Amino acid sequence: MSSQSQNTGRRPELRHDPVANRWVIFSPARAKRPTDFKSKSPQNSNPGDNSSCPFCIGNEHECAPEIFRVPSDPNWKLRVIENLYPALSRNIEGPCEEKEDMGVPARAIAGFGFHDVVIENPVHSVHLCDMEARDIGQVLLAYKKRIQQIASVESIKYVQVFKNHGASAGASMSHSHSQLLALPIIPSAVSARFEGMNEYFKKTGKCSLCEVQAKELLIDESTHFISIVPFAATYPFEMWIIPRAHSSHFHEFDCDKMVELGGLLKLMLRKMSLQLNNPPFNFMIQTSPLQVKESELSYAHWFLQIVPQLSGAGGFEMGSGCYINPVFPEDAAKVLREVNLPVAG
């Protein structure tokens, strides 16, 4: 059946995302069937032998300085190191004062911050989704520990944890790794998300993510987490993993639940890989700014966002900030639910 005849019964729809506080256009006429949505540039498995990779065990001397490793002996399972090419510098001393005398109506501050790399595994050929849930849990605990260390620096306002998998998703190294970037400002997208959550709370008296219950958007669930395609997903087959219990900051979440989160993350990555032809992807931990008021904790709820790279942004998206998604979230969730895999353990 052609994509045109497949989609004639579905009209375009605009949906508002109360979390990001923005509109998304769903236009099924622009898409194939959801089951045909495959990556055109699948990521090949890492070669097993890569002696020149600085992230491999035995090549530690080729990396930037180490912050910590787990365990703390030569046979490590993960390492956290400084980024050799940091976006911000940890060596700028003094407060990040604003400068306005630049002849333009704009502001600037010194580029102080922390940019770290988490090497998730010592073996070059092992991806995150290949690891056991307990080992993915250790990676998540490393994020938590590093954020807690950075949080003591008063001028840092926000820490973004992210992973780029595949060159087109921004990865410059094929060895499985993720990053943390600690900023002296709160990014505009984070502020918009925070304000969106606040608006929903002011209207309803409830947290927008605690309220997520739609079964047609559910992919899978565990004791303490659910995984969904969000109601107004910005990107096709975007996924969120949300803690069931209200929690504002990822780095304050219970350590004993990280293995469970690792198992659900592994399951989502494997489903995405199998159904979408192993696409490049990004994942981000969307948490709250480090310094928030007590009253703001009631509506701030962290989640883990997974975005497969299946379509690019065009001029409309860049100009308007409004995205066009060719796959309705309930259709994407159904496709992902139907990928039968055992619960990761």
Kindly report the backbone phi and psi dihedral angles of residue 19, in degrees, each rounded to the nearest multiple of 5, phi listed first.
Answer: -80, -55
Structure tokens at 205: 């008296």
- Angle at 150 (CA atoms; ends 145, 155), nearest 5 degrees: 160
124 is in an annotated binding site: yes
Q: Is the peptide bond before 47 cis (omega within 30 degrees of 0)?
A: no
Q: Looking at the annotation, which residues are catalytic?
A: 177
DSSP 286-307: E---SS--GGGGGT---EEEEE
Residue that the structure tokens 């989704």 belong to: 129
Residue that the structure tokens 């966002």 belong to: 305
175 is in an annotated binding site: yes
301 is in an annotated binding site: no
Task: Decide if 241 contacts 209 (C-beta within 8 A).
Answer: no
Residue that the structure tokens 């080992």 belong to: 135
* Residue 82, beta-bridge partner list: 116
224 is in an annotated binding site: no
The C-alpha atoms of residue 312 and residue 82 are separated, in whole angstroms, by 30
* Residue 164, beta-bridge partner list: 282
Residue that the structure tokens 């979408």 belong to: 276
Structure tokens at 299: 């509506």
Task: Specify the DSSP class assigned to residue 319.
Answer: H
Binding site residues, as ranges? 53, 56, 124, 175
Binding site residues for Zn(2+), as ranges? 53, 56, 124, 175
